[in-house]
Structure 1
Amino acid sequence: MADFSMSGDDKRIILALSPSRTYRENTIRMMREIQKDPDLRVIVICVNQPAAFLSEYYQKNGIDTSRIFFINAITQYATGTAPAPLENCRFVSKPNDLTAMGIAVTTILKQFEGQKTVIFLDSVNAMLIHSSSADLTKFIHFIISKLRILSIAGILLAVEKGLDPVLLSQLSTFADDLVEFPEGNTPQKE
């Protein structure tokens, strides 16, 4: 993955656009690249898949989940009950509770203060199912502003064809880099 790289010293905000057919594979490729730096911790905001599913999927694909913390916005919403607490996961009651999600991000970033960290939002498209484009844009702007103030890197993952042009334009403006994964396997950096 010559065009996608991430190290502990990286402070960029990356908008990663993937075709839907290779979405999961591209997620794994990015996680592997991130984990090349053994000191880099990942905070995954999961709206697309529950944390338990992602953790198992990552492990099956050789990803060290001991270096991943999940902010899970889908499990409690999908099951209707509060899940048992987990050491590496904070649950948010529903994916459209952007205030609770913002508080969770702030709390977890404080917990890992001083550690090399990257926020990984999976995914913009799933958030659009539960929130309006305007609310989502405000939330992402808030998160990115917080990351910039704290000098922390971030990755916004999306399926390009699922975004309207106005939202895509706004996200591109917020990001430092745009990585587009083609239908094949090699990402293209713009």
Structure 2
Amino acid sequence: MRKFVEKLSAVLDHVADLSIRIAGIGLFLMTVFIAWQVFGRFVLNDTPTWTETSSILIMGWFLLLGAAAGIREGNHLSFDVVLFLVNDKAKSVAFTISDFVVIAFGMGMVVYGLQLALKTWPTTIPNLGISGGVAFLALITGGALLVIYSVERLLRRAVGLPTTRFSDKLAEAD
């Protein structure tokens, strides 16, 4: 089982790296689109209508991909004050509970995001001419990654692999 988890983590390292790269490209594109919008509005006196809608769609992708990768790497916002007061076993239990909560949240993102995508698929985003359901694909993907990364942390903890990079910094700081 340990070898399987190590191989899974190696694959997910690449997935997380790709997610961060896509998020970075998305952030760059959004910046370029908004700059073009400002330039078009104030210099050309001809505002491009597609830039705002495109930027909002791209923002959903880079936020959700970046957040999922941040949770995997343990760089996401957390409230750790109580963990300084408890022993390693209690910390491990707290991290495990946290992982299950994140799994439930991620599953909710997938299920409800899928429902929203299916209900809005027949509509069209006016400025872009694409399906309205596309707006929820980032939510579904981000939720799926949250579930996968949290399951990975649970598996790593179960087989005794270090989880420092996977948000258990306090558990191994002692």
Same fold, TM-score > 0.5, yes or no: no
Higher helix share: 2
Give the structure, 1 or 2, with the largest relative contact order (CA under 8 Å, sep 6 or more). 1
Task: Give me the TM-score of the superposition, normalised by structure 2.
Answer: 0.30
Task: Give me the TM-score of the superposition, normalised by structure 1.
Answer: 0.28
